[in-house]
Structure 1
Amino acid sequence: MSDSGAGLPWLVIREDGNGNRYRVGSYGTRAEAEKAAARLGGERHGGGAGEQLYVVERVGRRG
Structure 2
Amino acid sequence: MAEGHPEPAGPPLNIIPLANSSGTGWRFPDNSIETGYVQARQRAEAMGCQLQARQTSRYSASH
- Provide the TM-score with structure 1 as the length reference: 0.35
**Larger strand proportion, structure 1 or 2?**
1
Structure of greater relative contact order (alpha carbons < 8 Å, 6+ residues apart): 1
- Provide the TM-score with structure 2 as the length reference: 0.35
**Larger helix proportion, structure 1 or 2?**
1
Structure index of larger Rg: 2
